């Protein structure tokens, strides 16, 4: 249709190609102008240079692009990522980079290709960054050679439960340091050892933290800089792991079960004087649907598990 009526592309604001396409399709898309395209989502395979070149050309033609989402099904390295960001317009604000589990071993940050000179003031100013399944991508993004500006980033989302690499916290800490002037919202979905390994010293200005309800978060919050700006913490979990009847709660307290000890320790950490003076809300977000009657009962059970937070009207339970 776009071939027959190329003027239609002037009205396209969002374009999603939900699976890997042949290079012929990408070549066709490069022949079309995209002056009003704001959102572009691709699932590219960068196995062949012509495909990489056509995707880069497509992105360069979207001069008003605001959101770019790429799900990589094949190896991703600097020679793929940097040229892509180099041609991205300065209007780009939201960047999502997802890497297939099968391709997660990629991540070389020794570019072989020399990019043309570009004024750093024209780099994309990313305000929201979402990275899934590859700490290597974080390392590439914080490298000084990466043609992107992260100093205006307000929100960072990072998810990686499959990584077995040691020291995953280092790339995250570099990212925190680069984005420190503007970073206000952080979403972390990583395994316990890596959560506990993170140094949060660059996060004193952070306002909102979203994490999994796990033992690693206690270590992270215990290391949080004093007098921070954190105003809300949201924990993701499931009701079966945290909701206890009155009888079960009494038994848990008597036996000092890990769940009971964790809840009381969490209250100690977040309510410690001077650590989180701006904190107003601790939210338990349950990843399950419940009837209204069940939801009310689960809410009461969780309130009983965190009596001090509930008493201070700081506890919220969302379904």
Write down the H helix ranges in 243-289: 246-255, 258-270
Does 100 map to a domain? yes
Does 31 map to a domain? yes
Count CB-CB contacts under 10 A for residue 299. Answer: 21
pLDDT per position as a tens digit, 216-265: 899 999 999 998 999 999 999 888 778 787 888 888 788 788 888 889 99
Under 8 Å between Cβ of 84 and 56:
yes
Under 8 Å between Cβ of 42 and 55:
yes
* Number of domains within the chain: 1
Does 73 map to a domain? yes
Does 248 map to a domain? no
State the Cα–Cα distance between residues 207 and 300, nearest whole angstrom.
27
Under 8 Å between Cβ of 129 and 157:
yes
pLDDT per position as a tens digit, 131-181: 987 778 888 999 999 999 999 999 999 988 665 555 567 888 999 999 999
Does 56 map to a domain? yes
Q: Where residue 143 sits, what CATH number does that domain have?
A: 3.80.10
Residue-level pLDDT at 114: 78
Residue-level pLDDT at 215: 79
Q: In terms of Cα–Cα distance, which of 255, 228, 226, 242 is closest to 299?
A: 242
Does 315 map to a domain? no
Does 143 map to a domain? yes
Residue-level pLDDT at 212: 86
Q: In terms of Cα–Cα distance, which of 93, 92, 105 is closest to 137?
A: 105
Count CB-CB contacts under 10 A for residue 86. Answer: 19
State the Cα–Cα distance between residues 116 and 3, nearest whole angstrom.
32
Band of pLDDT at residue 75, cut at 50, 70 and 90: low
Does 33 map to a domain? yes
Range(s) of the domain holding residue 15: 6-183
Residue-level pLDDT at 191: 80
Residue-level pLDDT at 252: 78
Average pLDDT over every residue of 33-59: 85
């Amino acid at each position: 249709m776009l071939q027959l009526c190329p003027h239609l592309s002037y009205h396209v604001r969002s374009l999603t190609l939900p699976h890997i396409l042949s290079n012929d399709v990408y070549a066709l898309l490069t022949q079309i102008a995209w002056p009003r395209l704001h959102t572009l989502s691709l699932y590219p395979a960068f196995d062949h240079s012509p495909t990489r070149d056509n995707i880069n050309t497509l992105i360069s033609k979207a001069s008003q692009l605001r959101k770019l989402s790429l799900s990589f099904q094949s190896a991703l390295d600097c020679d793929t990522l940097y040229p892509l960001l180099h041609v991205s317009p300065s209007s780009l604000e939201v960047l999502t980079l997802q890497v297939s589990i099968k391709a997660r071993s990629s991540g070389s940050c020794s570019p072989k290709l020399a990019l043309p000179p570009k004024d750093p003031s024209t780099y994309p100013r990313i305000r929201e960054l979402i990275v899934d399944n590859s700490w290597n991508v974080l390392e590439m993004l914080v490298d000084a050679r990466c043609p992107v500006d992260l100093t205006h980033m307000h929100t960072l989302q990072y998810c990686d439960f499959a990584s077995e690499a040691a020291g995953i916290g280092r790339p995250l800490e570099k990212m925190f340091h680069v984005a420190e002037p503007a970073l206000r919202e952080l979403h972390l979905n990583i395994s316990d050892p890596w959560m506990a390994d993170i140094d949060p010293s660059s996060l004193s200005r952070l306002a909102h933290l979203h994490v999994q309800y796990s033992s690693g978060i206690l270590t992270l919050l215990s290391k949080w800089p004093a007098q921070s700006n954190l105003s809300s913490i949201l924990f993701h979990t499931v009701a079966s792991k945290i909701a206890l009847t009155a009888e079960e709660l009494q038994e848990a307290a008597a036996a000092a079960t890990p769940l009971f000890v964790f809840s009381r320790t969490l209250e100690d950490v977040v309510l410690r004087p001077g650590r989180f003076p701006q904190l107003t809300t601790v939210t338990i977000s349950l990843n399950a649907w419940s009837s209204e009657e069940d939801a009310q009962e689960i809410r009461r059970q969780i309130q009983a598990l965190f009596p001090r937070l509930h008493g201070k009207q700081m506890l919220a339970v969302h379904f």
